[in-house]
Each structure stands twice: as structure tokens, then as C-alpha cells.
């Protein structure tokens, strides 16, 4: 097997392979070969194809190309560990597991894209893998990401509050007012100039007492402190004046919630973060996401991802990258699958976040992330950058909180309290990088 071609651009690997289609006219009839070489999903894809031999040849070439990117033989990778799946629109997606995934992790591979083409009697595939050594242990003892550190936008000396993002946090219900308040507070701490909590009128006063710097708008509710369809006009009136919105923190599960969330997604043209019970409201309904008016980022944990996909939690956990990537590709969304090594994907590229610790497995931590991500989206960062930066900073806030309170006693408000320290650290690191100095000692306190 030829060695993978390395492009002059640092951190990129290229693999190319070509296969004669005629070879597969006979191989398709050999059950042992088909079962050994192709996964169940790949065989089903071949069986549905108008030209099975050409399709099989293309898949085989893609597997070979990806194995060259990984620098290992196809047999060494394990044929079932290297799968080429397809999105609803037919685009190929690389999914790794087992030995192949371990090899990708060893290389620091953050994404592998593949393209398949057919010309007369030949199928060809090109795979490109992007490596990243951005995450490095610093003298601070934290894992820092040089790329994301440098992506931080500088605030304008003559800037004004609306320049830094107008965001709305849509959520809250009787008994869960704290969720929307924490998400709003996290958005403020992350730098948004104007933050509005849009809540059921019945809990408006409670949220006002919790949220001093943000605005609170109470909209029509069911009379018991929960949103219903009557809430829609009031919510949209606020959302229309915003750059980004979050839907879901503390929103609860009521009979009207599915119809309300669906209507919001179809009418809200802003950047949207869909979290918590906003996700649960769409259980099993992907079409709503495909029809969304704006750009949608979903932030599920594994149980919520299970509800969205219909897969068992164990299946989600076993293939976090594959499940998240395919769901994002199929629905045209961004997915942030939370957990250890949070997966951030747009259906084509995926990234893993290295910051954070087990102490962050606490009620409200997801609300904080939703607020931080919404803030960065409202500020105007590119969507993928905003989501990656939000997860990175959220994890760093948890790592700094661990130093002060430990893992066992950490609560969500500890994360919000550390956001300013995260900014101080990252700006110090960035300043040192721009001066060409090694990693900053960076006082994080």
C-alpha cells in the first residue's frame, strides 16, 4: 500500500484509490466476500443502488482511501471498523470505530471527508483528513487550544452594547425558573450586550428577582406558569429583534410544547440553540429541523440524542461521532453531543472538545453551555467556531472551578462565576502567542 500523500499544508493528509468496476460484477455474488468487506448498512446501500457493481467499487475505493489517510492497511484497520455511510441527500460520510478510531485519535485526526466518483469503467475516491495538535498542556496545567485562543474577537474601544449581540433565552416554567435565569446569566458573562429572558408570564417576577442585569419579558401562558400556543406571538416579537436565541432551558413538557417548538423553528430566522426540553419536544420528528427557518444548533446529552434518533442510549454511546455526524447531515443542523469529549459537528466535519471534568455532571451545567453558545452566536462568530469556543470555554470554566471547589461539590453557578477568569486566561495566552512566547503562565484567578 502506498504511503499517504502529505500536502504542504500542515495537518492535512490525503488518500486516493481507484478500483475497476468490472471486478465487482462477480464479487457481488460472493456472500462471504460481501459480508467480510462491507457492513450491513453498506450492503443495504449497494442493494438499493441502480448500478450495484459501480456502487460497491466506489465504497471499496473510499475505504482504501481512508485507510491511506490513517496510514494503515485496510485489513489492519478492520473492514467493519471503517464504514462509509450516506446522508439523506446521498453524500458519503466516514464513520470510524475500533482500531480505525484509535488510529485517528493517535494522529489527532479531527475530521475525514471523502468524495467518490465514477468514470467509465473505474471508481475513484479521494479522502482528506485534517489533523490537529491544537490542544496542548500548558504551564497552567490546563489543556489549551491555540486555534481557539486566537479566534477570540477583540472588543471595540468605541463599541456599543448591541454590537456584542442581542440574544433571547426562551424557557422557564413553574418550578424551573432557575434554568432560564442561569442560561441568561451565562450569556451575559460570555459578553452579550443585551440579554432577554422570555418566560411564561406566571413566573416573570421570579425570574426578574434572579436576573438583575438582563431583561425579562413575560408572555401569555396557560395560567399555570407554562408556555402554550398563545405564547407564540409574544415570543416571536422578542426573537425578531435578536441575533440569536436559545429555546428550551427549563421549558418543561406540556401537551402544547411540540407544536410550540415546531412553530418557533419554522418562523424564527435567527441562529437558534435548541436545548433540554426543547429537544425532547421534537422526539422522533426530524422534518421540523429540516424545515427550520434559521440555523439550528442542537445540544443534546446521550439520553436526549437517543430520543431524537430512536436509537438505544447504548448505541449512541458506542458511536457518538457517527450518530451525531449523520443526524446533523440528515437534518441540516449543527449537533453538540455533550459528554466526555463533546462532539461538535455540522454533518461533514467534527471536532472533539478536550476540556472539562466529571464535576460538571451537575444540574444546570447544560443551561450554562446553552447560554454561552447563544452569546457567541449572537456576537457574530461563525457557527462552528461559536460552538467549539463555547464548549471549550465551558470546559475551562469547569476546570477552573474544580481548583476552587473540587469535583464533588461543583454546581452550575460555579461555572458562570469562572467565565471572566477564562477570558483573562485566554487573552493572556493569546497575547503571549502573538509575541511568539511559549504558553502563558496566565493567572486564571
pLDDT, tens digit, 9 for 90 and up, residues 393-404: 999 999 999 999
Residue 252 near residue 173, CB atoms below 8 Å: yes
Question: pTM for the full model?
Answer: 0.79
Q: What integer pLDDT is reported at residue 293 of this predicted model?
A: 96
- Is the pLDDT at 305 greater than 70? The verdict is yes
DSSP state of 52: H
Q: What integer pLDDT is reported at residue 365 of this predicted model?
A: 97
DSSP state of 29: T
pLDDT, tens digit, 9 for 90 and up, residues 352-372: 898 999 999 999 999 999 999
Q: What integer pLDDT is reported at residue 113 of this predicted model?
A: 86
Q: Rounded to whole angstroms, how far apart are CA atoms 277 and 274?
A: 9
Better pLDDT: 43 or 131 = 43
Q: Rounded to whole angstroms, how far apart are CA atoms 146 and 418?
A: 20
Closest by CA position to 85, among listed 59, 121, 54: 59
- Is the pLDDT at 6 greater than 60? The verdict is no
Query: Where do we find the cell 443502488?
Result: 49
Rounded to the nearest integer, the mean pLDDT of the chain is 89
Closest by CA position to 22, among listed 157, 121, 111, 167: 121
Amino acid at each position: 500500500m502506498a504511503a499517504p500523500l502529505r500536502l504542504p499544508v500542515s495537518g492535512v493528509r490525503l488518500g486516493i484509490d481507484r478500483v475497476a468496476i468490472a471486478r465487482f460484477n462477480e464479487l457481488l455474488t460472493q456472500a462471504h466476500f460481501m459480508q467480510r468487506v462491507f457492513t450491513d448498512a453498506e450492503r443495504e446501500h449497494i442493494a438499493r443502488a441502480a448500478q450495484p457493481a459501480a456502487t460497491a467499487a466506489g465504497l471499496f475505493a473510499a475505504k482504501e482511501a481512508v485507510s491511506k489517510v490513517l496510514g494503515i492497511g485496510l485489513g489492519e484497520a478492520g473492514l467493519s471498523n471503517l464504514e462509509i455511510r450516506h446522508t439523506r441527500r446521498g453524500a458519503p460520510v466516514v464513520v470510524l470505530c475500533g482500531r480505525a478510531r484509535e488510529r485517528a485519535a493517535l494522529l489527532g485526526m479531527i475530521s475525514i471527508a471523502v468524495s467518490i466518483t465514477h468514470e467509465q469503467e473505474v471508481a475513484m475516491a479521494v479522502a482528506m483528513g485534517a489533523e490537529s495538535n491544537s490542544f496542548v498542556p500548558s504551564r497552567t496545567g490546563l489543556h489549551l487550544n491555540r486555534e481557539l485562543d486566537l479566534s477570540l474577537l477583540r472588543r471595540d474601544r468605541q463599541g456599543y452594547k448591541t454590537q456584542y449581540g442581542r440574544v433571547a433565552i426562551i424557557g422557564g416554567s413553574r418550578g424551573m425558573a432557575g434554568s432560564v435565569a442561569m442560561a441568561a446569566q451565562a450569556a451575559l458573562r460570555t459578553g452579550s450586550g443585551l440579554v432577554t429572558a422570555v418566560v411564561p408570564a406566571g413566573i416573570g417576577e421570579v425570574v426578574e428577582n434572579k436576573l438583575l442585569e438582563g431583561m425579562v419579558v413575560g408572555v401569555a401562558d396557560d395560567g399555570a406558569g407554562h408556555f402554550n400556543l398563545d405564547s407564540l406571538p409574544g415570543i416571536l416579537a422578542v426573537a425578531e429583534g435578536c441575533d440569536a436565541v436559545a429555546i428550551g432551558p427549563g421549558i418543561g413538557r406540556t401537551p402544547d410544547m411540540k407544536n410550540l417548538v415546531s412553530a418557533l423553528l419554522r418562523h424564527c430566522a435567527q441562529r437558534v440553540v435548541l436545548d433540554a426540553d426543547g429537544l425532547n419536544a421534537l422526539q422522533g420528528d426530524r422534518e421540523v429541523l429540516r424545515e427550520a427557518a434559521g440555523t439550528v444548533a442542537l445540544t443534546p446529552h446521550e439520553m436526549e440524542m437517543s430520543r431524537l434518533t430512536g436509537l438505544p442510549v447504548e448505541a449512541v454511546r458506542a458511536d457518538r461521532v457517527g450518530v451525531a455526524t449523520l443526524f446533523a447531515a440528515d437534518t441540516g443542523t449543527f449537533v453538540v453531543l455533550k459528554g466526555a469529549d463533546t462532539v461538535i459537528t455540522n454533518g461533514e466535519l467534527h471536532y472533539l472538545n478536550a476540556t472539562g471534568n466529571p464535576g460538571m455532571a451537575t444540574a444546570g451545567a447544560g443551561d450554562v453551555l446553552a447560554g454561552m453558545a447563544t452569546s457567541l452566536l449572537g456576537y457574530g462568530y461563525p457557527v462552528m467556531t461559536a460552538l467549539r469556543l463555547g464548549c471549550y470555554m465551558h470546559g475551562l470554566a469547569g476546570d477552573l472551578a474544580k481548583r476552587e471547589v473540587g469535583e464533588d461539590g461543583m454546581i452550575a453557578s460555579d461555572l458562570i462565576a469562572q467565565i471572566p477568569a477564562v477570558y483573562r486566561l485566554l487573552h493572556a495566552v493569546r497575547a503571549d502567542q502573538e509575541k511568539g512566547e511559549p504558553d502563558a503562565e496566565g493567572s486564571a484567578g
